[in-house]
């Protein structure tokens, strides 16, 4: 399909640059302009906004974000082989695209923004670092964070864990960390045949909007610790699974007004926030 940005079709760019997809970098490229533009629109409105994109690859989604009106895109790409393709997009959109050649897990995104400015994050994430990146963003120390929303492509199974409700099989750490401060929702599925090369499973685009207030005040590192302990042994009762947090675990459960015989999968997000507050208080005391 031809594009209306004057740039050559992506398949041609890839062939010319000899950009074979690398599995180790989670490279599954999108060439369908209708699809990339749909993702860009769902992340919007983009007019006047700065977008941070992780893993632009040869730039399919990047081009859609620019066509759909983003004022500025900062694209963080680890694979140096993609840089020549991205430089061509920089030339086609003067002053609107900056490419950062780096590992997205290691960058501090706020450094790319004007002080106080907030970005939209949009990405077709590499599946092998999708979860650590999401956790990095959701556990930002400063809240509200440097972003206003996240619109991200995941494997369907990960998306289902993100939006899962308590007492369902997919409910776990990722559900609690996601739903504590944001409202995640699955926008649509993307069949594996839309990617080159096709991954093994269906993907889903998920949008996370910030909640007006978190579902319970707590420090992110404490939420991480209590959910790791509780879901590390998800079939056990809380009174057993939380023992690893310290000798005060029974008191922690009582203070949070939780039943010690319930399992982690039956505890609501607010319950984990209460446990996290208690853990912070007891850690500070000891």
CA pair distance 284, 279, nearest whole angstrom: 8
Rounded Cα distance between 4 and 8, Å, is 10
What is the full DSSP assignment across 121-151? EEEE--TTTHHHHHHHHHT-SSSS-SEEEEE
- The residue written with tokens 């004022």 in the block is 71
The smaller minimum CB distance to ligand SAM, of residues 32 and 148, is found at 32
Residue of minimal Cβ distance to ligand SAM? 55
- Output the furthest CA–CA distance in the chain (Å, rounded): 65
* Choice between 54 and 280, CB closer to ligand SAM: 54
- Identity of the residue, 105 or 228, whose beta carbon is nearer to ligand SAM in the bound complex: 105
Nearer Cβ to ligand SAM (83/262) = 83
**In angstroms, what is the minimal distance from the CB of 161 to ligand SAM?**
19
Phi, psi of 149 (to 5 degrees): -155, 160
How far apart are alpha carbons 219 and 222 in whole angstroms? 5
Please report how close the Cβ of residue 248 comes to ligand SAM at its closest, in angstroms.
Answer: 38
CB of 91 to ligand SAM, least distance (A): 19
How near is the Cβ of 121 to ligand SAM at its closest, in Å? 13
Query: Footprint of ligand SAM on this chain (CB under 6 A)?
Result: 25-30, 54-57, 60-61, 76-79, 82, 103-105, 124, 126, 129
Which of these, 15, 35, 33, 6, lies nearest to 204 by C-alpha position?
35
Task: Pick between residue 131 and residue 249 the one whose CB is nearest to ligand SAM.
Answer: 131
**Min CB(135)–ligand SAM separation in Å:** 14
Euclidean distance between CA atoms 14 and 65, whole angstroms: 19
* CB closer to ligand SAM out of 50 and 124: 124
User: Shortest distance, CB of residue 96 to ligand SAM, whole angstroms?
Assistant: 17
Reading the block at residue 63, the tokens are 């081009």
């Amino acid at each position: 399909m031809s594009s209306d940005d004057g740039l050559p079709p992506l398949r041609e760019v890839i062939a010319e640059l000899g950009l074979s997809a690398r599995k180790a970098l989670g490279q599954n490229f999108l060439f369908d302009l209708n699809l990339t533009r749909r993702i860009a629109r769902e992340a919007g409105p983009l007019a006047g906004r700065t977008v941070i994109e992780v893993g632009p690859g040869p730039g399919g989604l990047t081009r859609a974000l620019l066509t759909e009106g983003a004022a500025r895109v900062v694209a963080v790409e680890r694979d140096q082989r993609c840089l020549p393709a991205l430089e061509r997009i920089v030339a086609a959109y003067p002053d609107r695209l900056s490419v950062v050649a780096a590992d997205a897990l290691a960058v501090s995104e706020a450094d790319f923004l004007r002080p106080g400015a907030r970005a939209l994050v949009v990405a077709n994430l590499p599946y092998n670092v999708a979860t650590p990146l999401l956790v990095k963003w959701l556990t930002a120390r400063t809240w509200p964070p440097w972003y206003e929303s996240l619109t991200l492509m995941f494997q369907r199974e990960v998306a289902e864990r993100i939006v899962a409700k308590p007492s369902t099989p997919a409910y776990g750490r990722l559900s609690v960390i996601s739903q504590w401060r944001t409202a995640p929702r699955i926008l649509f599925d993307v069949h594996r045949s839309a990617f080159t090369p096709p991954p093994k499973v269906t993907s889903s685009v998920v949008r996370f909007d910030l909640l007006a207030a978190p579902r319970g005040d707590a420090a992110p590192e404490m939420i991480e610790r209590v959910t790791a302990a509780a879901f590390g042994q998800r079939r056990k009762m809380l009174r057993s699974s939380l023992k690893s947090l310290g000798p005060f675990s029974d008191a922690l459960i009582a203070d949070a007004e939780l039943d010690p015989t319930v399992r982690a999968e039956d505890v609501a997000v607010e319950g984990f926030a209460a446990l996290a507050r208690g853990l912070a208080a007891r850690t500070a005391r000891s």
